Structure 1
C-alpha cells in the first residue's frame, strides 16, 4: 500500500537522494550528484521547481559525466535564506554547495525557465568556471514576466492551492503524468513535496521575484564567450487563466526573444521544438540531453585544439 500524502510530508525532511551540505550561516543546501568526469553538468530548476524534477535528464547525463541536481534556498529539501537576496547571493549558495560536495569545475550549466536566468548570473559572476550554457525555454529579455500588479493574482493562486493542493494535478496533468514514471524512491516524496503549501508559496514567490532577477542579469556583467544553446518549446501549454489565443501570442513573443538572445552571443544556437511546450524537459528529455551532449562534444574538441 502506497504511503499517504500526509505520511510522506511528515517524513519528508530527509531528501530521497543526495545530501544537505552546510553552506554556513546555519543553512544547508540539498545537492545530489552522480557520474564521473568533467565538465560537470549542473541543472538549475525553474520557478517553483526542485532538482529532482529533472531526474530523467540527470540519469541520462550521469551516464557520460558528473551531473548535479540541487534545490535553491527554501525549495525542495534546502533550508530557507533570511530575507530578500540578490541573484549573486543566490548563485553563491550554489557555488558554495558545489565546493562542499567536492564537485569541481569546469561546469556546463543547464537552466529551465527562471533557471535560465540564474545560470546566466552564475556565468557572469564565476566566468572562469563555466564552459557552456543550455537554456531550456528560458526567461530572457523581451519575455513578459509577472509585475507587482500581478501579486493579487499570484496570491489568489496560492490560496486556492493551499485549500486544494490537488489542483496542481488538474492544472499540470502532463507534468504529473511524467513524474509518475520516475522511480518510487524519487517520485513519491517529490510529488508530496510539491503539493505541500509551504513549498507552493516558495514557488509563487519565485514567480514574483523573476522580474527583479531578470533586471539584475540584464544589468550584470557580460557573459563569458562560451557556447550557448537556447531551446524553445512551441506547443500550447495548459496554463490556468489564459485563453489559447493569449498562449499563441505569448509563444510568438517567446520565440522572437529566444532567437534574439541566441543571436546576441558569439557562440549562440537556437533550437525550436514544435511537439512540446514549456515543460518539455519532461516530455522530450532526449532533446535536452542531445543539446547537453553536443556542448560536451564541442568543449572536448576545443580543449584538444588548445
Structure 2
C-alpha cells in the first residue's frame, strides 16, 4: 500500500497549516469544490499530490525550499482539509480526474511537473499514463504502486490482512471507507496488468529505513525488500531519470524536504534538455 501504520496515524489529523503568502484557489467539481494553495510565481508549474489522508500542508517545507523558482500548487483531495465532498467514496480514477481538473484550472494549457507521495505517487503515475502530453516531468516520493499490494500478499497474506484489520480499527469512518475501496481495487486482476510509462524525466525517491519496532509488514526488513523491488521495477519502466535511496522513513518530504526540492529542480533541468 505504501502506507505505513505510523504515517496513516499522522494522516488522521489533517494539517491546516498554509505556506506563507499562499493564495487559496477553488476548483469546482461535480458536487464539491477542491481547495488548492498556490505559492510562488516562477515559470515552472509544480503540482503536488499528497499521500493517503493527507492535505496540502505536508508539502510546506518543500515548497518553502523552492521559493520563487516555481509556481507551486498543493491541494487536499475531496473530503480532506478545506476541500468539499459529495459524500461518495472515490476510486483511483475519480482522484485522477480531480487531479486533471486541478491542472486544467490552475495551469491551463501548460505542462506541469507532478510530485506525488505514497498514494499520491500512484495517482500521478496513473495520470501520466493517461495524459502524458500534460506532464513535463515526475517526482515520485516513496510512491505506492498498483502491483505492490499483490506482492505483499504473496509474501505474507495473513500479516497483510491482520494489518488491514488493525488499520481499519483506527481510521475514522469516511477514511476507512476510502481504504476499503482502495484495497479492493489493488486486489483486483486489473491492478496486475502491465502499464507502459510515458517517456518523461522521472526522479524516484525510495526510503530505506526499517522501523525499530515494526507495526506493519511494510516497516519490517522483509517488507522493505519488497518495497525496494517494487520501486526498482517502476523505475525500470521509465527511459530516463534518477533513482535515489534515502535513509529516512516513509515521509521523505517531511524528514528531508531539501532532497525532494532538489529532485524537483533536477527534473526541471532535465525536462528543458532536448531528447535525442
TM-score by length of 2: 0.77
Number of equivalent positions:
250
Q: Which of 17, 22, 39 is the matching residue for 1:34?
A: 39
* Deviations, residues 135-168 of structure 1 (Å, cap 9, x unaligned): 111112553379777653233113xxxxxxxxxx
Aligned partners of 1:118 and 1:109: how far apart in 2? 10
Residue 248 in structure 1 maps to residue 221 in structure 2: yes
1:116 aligned onto 2:134: no
Q: Does 1:257 align with 2:270?
A: no
State the Cα distance separating 1:238 from its structure 2 match. Answer: 7.1
Taking the aligned partners of 1:241 and 1:75, their CA distance within structure 2 comes to 25
Q: Corresponding residue for 2:208?
A: 234
Inter-partner Cα distance in structure 1 for 2:96 and 2:217? 35
| Conserved 8 A contact 2:56-2:75 | yes
- Looking at structure 1, the residues matched to 36 and 220 of structure 2 have their Cα atoms a distance apart, in angstroms, of 34
Task: Tell me which residue corresponds to 2:93.
Answer: 88
Write the distance in 2 (CA, Å) between the matches of 1:20 and 1:283.
28
Contact 2:19–2:39 (8 Å) recurs in 1: no
Per-residue deviation, 1:203 = 4.2
Residue 32 of structure 1 and its aligned partner are, at CA, apart by 1.0
Q: Is the 8 A contact 2:206 2:246 kept in 1?
A: yes
Query: Which residue number corresponds to residue 148 of structure 2?
Result: 143
User: More displaced, 80-89 or 128-137?
Assistant: 80-89
Counterparts of 2:34 and 2:112 in 1: how far apart (Å)? 18
> CA separation in 2, counterparts of 1:83 and 1:300?
40
In structure 2, the residue matched to 1:177 is none
Say which of 241, 253, 275 aligns to 1:281.
253
Query: In the TM superposition, what whole-angstrom CA distance separates every residue of 1:74-99 from its partner, at most 9, and x where no partner exists?
Result: 11111113424432322222222333
CA distance in 2, matches of 1:218, 1:35: 39
- Which residues of 2 match residues 117-266 of structure 1 at below 5 A? 117-144=122-149, 151-158=164-171, 200-212=172-184, 214=186, 219=193, 222-237=196-211, 241-242=215-216, 247-266=220-239
Question: Which residue does 1:170 correspond to in 2?
Answer: none
**In 2, are the aligned partners of 1:23 and 1:93 still within 8 Å (CA)?**
no
C-alpha deviations, 1:170-215, integer Å up to 9, x for none? xxxxxxxxxxxxxxxxxxxxxxxxxxxxxx5444444434435556
1:226/1:85 CA distance change after superposition, 3 Å: same
| Structure 2 SS opposite 1:66 | strand
Tell me the residue number matched to 2:3: none
Q: Which has the larger radius of gyration?
A: 1
RMSD of aligned residue pairs (Cα, Å): 3.2
Q: Would the aligned equivalents of 2:44 and 2:69 in 1 still touch at CA under 8 Å?
A: no
Kindly state the Cα deviation for residue 268 of structure 1 after the two structures are TM-superposed.
4.2
1:141–1:257 Cα contact (<8 Å) kept? no
Are 2:145 and 2:230, in contact at CA under 8 Å, matched by a contact in 1? yes
Alpha-carbon spacing, 1:263–1:223, altered in 2? closer, same or farther (3 Å): closer
Task: Work out whether residues 25 and 38 of structure 2, in 8 Å CA contact, stay in contact via their aligned partners in 1.
Answer: no
Question: Is there any run of 5+ residues in structure 1 with no aligned partner, and where?
Answer: 1-8, 159-199
- How many Å separate the matches in 1 of 2:192 and 2:264? 24
SS at match of 1:47: coil
Query: Any conservation in 2 of the 1:58–1:69 contact (CA below 8 Å)?
Result: no
Q: Retained in 2: the 8 A contact 1:230–1:271?
A: yes
SS of equivalent residue, structure 1 residue 265:
coil
